[in-house]
A and B are shown apart, each in its own frame.
Chain A
């Protein structure tokens, strides 16, 4: 592209700052503009200012949310893992003078205990081989996409009018929690503190009903919550067993933990 062409192209992109601040770009354009933003300081300043203007339009629309929303969101927060900061692997590696006297907020260290294994594994893998880093970053994006999809499912359960929560914690601090809706027949189940079973085995979740064989509700993947669907009103409890890789058709061992569902409206 000629210099003039490049300048025109740049000018054209630049004129998208206001539509961008108003979220009025189509997805493709939005990505193109965000790419441009990364090397255009002038645009970044302008977008920042225009975005603050647009946000003033938002303030004037403030309205109190329904009271029940607070309980739902706080319950969801208890059942939802957090994402780490973008590329947190880099931060601990910077020499001290970059930070000055004050170290940066230690995000990785301060994660909830549940997520330490994952964060540590990611950091280690990223640091071992530089070429692995790209793969790792890609996987992380997939993971984030999956987590977002899942947070939509969780949000769906939460939007049910009869959402309830229940949890159980044993003496060692290991816990199971569920956010449930009888009308939707769904539950978001979180397992915490049980670690990953050895030899590729998995944690499998079962639906327990009276006089019926347990039904598999799925396998836990690392520390992510499991969205269990198709829970009938007769469900009495949820149970977790350790099963061979890939899971089993029926439990092959005693449950390591069980959670009664009566308190949340099931078990009729």
Chain B
């Protein structure tokens, strides 16, 4: 069954449908949250929170506004970004990173294990963007920085960053279109 149909059933309290939905979306949700949050324990916590929120809020899904999977992943991304920003604000992250210095980065370990086709395609398409487009998009999406923070890090005017983000996403669309 498609995620759209499952969400309708889940909104009616169907636990079996939720199990199927879990099978469909838990990998993408967990992977995305982990990419943004990085800390394994926190990633797990946020991913669980997101999956539970799908159960609670399934009735809010509106097919008019986009596909079910993009609704799910948009929710997951937002929660991950919220978490990483509050952790950053608390300075916890720097502390943890300092503690971990010496261990291999979590990402490297994970990426050697799963090198999917989609991952390859996205990487290839990201490589086709200009450096500024790519950095603007990935600093925001994968690292959870606001566009103001991105502008600061890249030492670019705000307007330029907004344009790079838009151009970057549109070029990605053109490139990935063939891989869908």
Contacts and interface: CB of A to CB of B under 8 A. Distances in A.
Contacts of A53: 169-170, 172-173, 176
Interface in B15-56: 15, 18-19, 22, 26-32, 34-35, 41, 44-45, 47-49, 51-53, 55-56
A152 B49 contact: yes
Interface stretch (A77-85, A133-141, A197-205, A235-243): A77-85
Contacts of B3: none
Interface string A50-64: 111111111111111
A50 B77 CA distance: 14
Interface residues of B, number: 74
Contacts of B77: 23, 54, 58
Contacts of A51: 66, 70, 74
B130 interface: no
Contacts of A25: 146-147
A44 B13 CA distance: 30
A61 B35 contact: yes
A24 B59 contact: no
Among A22, A55, A85, A156, the most chain B Cβ lie within 10 Å of the Cβ of A22
Nearest to B13: A112
Contacts, number: 202
Among A19, A63, A78, A151, the most chain B Cβ lie within 10 Å of the Cβ of A63
Interface in A158-186: 158-159
A159 B146 contact: no
Contacts of B65: 44, 48
A56 B176 contact: yes
Interface string A13-35: 00111110111111000000000
Nearest to A158: B48
B166 A17 contact: yes
A100 interface: no
B166 A24 contact: no
B165 A57 contact: no
B167 to A, nearest CB: 8
A155 B170 contact: no
Interface in B108-127: 110, 114, 116, 118-119, 121-123
B116 A62 contact: yes
A86 to B, nearest CB: 6
Interface of A: 15-19, 21-26, 44, 48-66, 69-70, 72-74, 76-78, 80-86, 88, 105, 107, 110-112, 147-148, 151-152, 154-156, 158-159
Given A48-B65, A57-B172, A159-B41, 12 more contacts: A24-B141, A26-B146, A50-B166, A51-B74, A52-B70, A62-B27, A69-B47, A70-B26, A77-B18, A82-B11, A154-B52, A155-B49
